[in-house]
Structure formats: C-alpha cells, structure tokens
Amino acid sequence: MLLAVDIGNTTTVVGFYNGPKLEYRYSIRSDYGHSLEEISSSFSLFLKDKGIERKSFEGAIISCVVPSLETWWKALLKDEYGLRPYVVGPKLKTGLVIKTDNPKEVGSDLIADAVAAKSLYGENVLIADLGTANKVILIGKDGAFEGCTIGIGMGLSARALSLDAALLPSVSMEIPNRVLGKNTPDSMNSALTYGVSYEIRGLCDAIEKEAGVPCKRIMTGGYARFLKDLLNDFEYVDELTLLGLRLIYERNRK
C-alpha cells in the first residue's frame, strides 16, 4: 500500500493507495502547533480504526508547502513505519515540462495537480485548484506546465472579513438565491461564492484567450465543492493532487 501525503497550508491529506485504487483518505488540520507526538497519535488511531496493518505499507511520497510539517511527517514515516518517502521537488522525475521563469519555485502541489491532469486529459487543460489559495494552472501544448495564477482562497477571505471587520459575522459559504444580498450573511456569501466563481471563470477565459486554443476546464481542492453548481462547465475531479502523487511515485519507483 502506498501513502500519498499532501501537506497543505490548511489541511494535510493522506491517501492510501492499493495499486491504482484509493482505499482510504485521512485528513488532519495543518496546525503549526501540532507536535510530532500529536500527529503520530492521530494517525495511529486512524490506522487502528480502519484495521490497517503497518507492514502493509510499501512506500510513501510527500507534497508539502509547509516545511516544518514536512520534517515531522518524514520523521514519522521513517521512525515508526520504516519508510523513506519521496518528496516532490527538483530531484524527482515527474515527466512534466515546466515552462516558467524559475521551475524550482513551482509548488509541489501544483506539480502534482499538473501531472494528474496531463495523465487524465493530455494537453490544453485549465485546472482551478481551490484551497487555501485559489490557483488556476494551464497545461498547454504537449502537456507542459505553462504557468498559473495564485490568489486568496475562500476560507482566508471569509476569516479576514469576520476577524478584521468588527460588524461582520462568520459565514457558512452557502450560495444565496440571488447575487444582490438583502442581509449581511447573504451579502458576504454572495461575494464569496458568486464572486469567486466569476473570478475563476474570468481568469480561465483570459488565459484561454492568451493560449489561443480552447481548453478543458476542471476543478479540485477543498473549497471546490462549494462552487460545483456555479462552475458547472468545469469537471469536478476529487483528489487530483493525490492522484498526481501516486503517478509521480510510480515513475520514480520504476
């Protein structure tokens, strides 16, 4: 069984792959205050609950945008499970051509998304990954990573409004019946849902115009589920990053 560990700014997700099949999914908040012991205890309880034997793990791969948590997960996998995980970065083979000014600065999560999208759709694909940050990635001709946009995500926007504006409450990010709000929660939810959907579609329209070819549009990420109804011309692909990690692992294992 392969462990694919996606350490994001908000959530860490571990996919348990039995061959190409995603058998289980474990998630924990990417809390900078977590100790190694807390992460280990939570992970062990999950394994016990699912009846997963430690000896069933054959390998692991990590994508991380939080360096301190990467160190802890590498130590956990090595010391308690005898695994030396691959870490997505310049030293790993991805099969992906990166056409940016500095390919080394491209986030490992973006690389995993791109590898998965290339595998599924080939070329000319726009990926909207809606997590802590809203990312739009273009996979262009011949499946190359052409570039991306990075903006503030829905969760950060919602928290910033409620924390920094004294009279604004926390909201649930539900889609209101109309764009023009008639009360404060609906007005905030409108900007968070309709606003982000217009932002993502507008960016994709502009990027597609620059690319000069029509592109397949897909969406993924923790907040994508809130916008599936508004971005119904995008195909929702759950766990795209984990799929990319599995594919990168298999390429390097061979």
pLDDT score at 31: 80
| pLDDT score of 32 more than 80 | no
Q: Count how many Cα atoms sit within 13 Å of the Cα of residue 229 in the half-sphere of its side chain.
A: 7
List the domain range (segments joined by +) for residue 241: 103-245
* 167/212 same-domain check: yes
pLDDT score at 248: 98
Give me the number of domains the chain comprises.
2
For the stretch 199-229, pLDDT in tens is 999 999 999 999 999 999 999 999 999 999 9
Cα separation, 18 vs 166, whole angstroms: 49
- Which residues contact residue 177 at a Cβ distance below 8 angstroms, ignoring those fewer than 6 apart? none
CATH classification of the domain holding 47: 3.30.420.40
pLDDT score at 164: 80
Q: What is the pTM of this model?
A: 0.94
* 115/208 same-domain check: yes
* 124/219 same-domain check: yes
For residue 175, how far is the Cα from the chain centroid? Answer: 22
pLDDT bracket for residue 196 (50, 70, 90): very high
Q: Give the number of other CB atoms < 10 A from CB of residue 219.
A: 26
Contact 4, 61 (CB under 8 A): yes
Query: Considering 49, 79, 109, 129, which one is annotated as catalytic?
Result: 109
* 186/76 same-domain check: no
* 119/202 same-domain check: yes
* 130/237 same-domain check: yes
* 115/77 same-domain check: no
* pLDDT averaged over every residue in the chain: 94
List C-alpha distances in Å: 129 to 27, 50, 103, 214.
Answer: 18, 29, 19, 19
* 167/80 same-domain check: no
| pLDDT score of 254 more than 70 | no
* 66/111 same-domain check: no
* 228/108 same-domain check: yes
Q: For residue 232, tell me if it sits in a domain.
A: yes
pLDDT (mean) for 142-153: 96
For the stretch 165-195, pLDDT in tens is 877 888 888 999 999 999 999 999 999 999 9
Cα separation, 202 vs 124, whole angstroms: 17
- Which residues contact residue 183 at a Cβ distance below 8 angstroms, ignoring those fewer than 6 apart? none
pLDDT score at 39: 87
H and E: helices and strands count for the chain: 7, 10
pLDDT score at 174: 92
Let me know if 229 is a catalytic residue: no
Report residue 228 as tokens: 């599936």
Nearest to 217 by CA among 226, 225, 207: 207
* 110/217 same-domain check: yes
For the stretch 96-136, pLDDT in tens is 999 999 999 999 999 999 999 999 999 999 999 999 999 99
Q: For residue 162, tell me if it sits in a domain.
A: yes
For the stretch 45-102, pLDDT in tens is 999 999 999 889 999 999 999 888 899 899 999 999 999 999 999 889 999 999 999 9
Beta strand ranges found along 40-111 (DSSP E): 59-64, 86-87
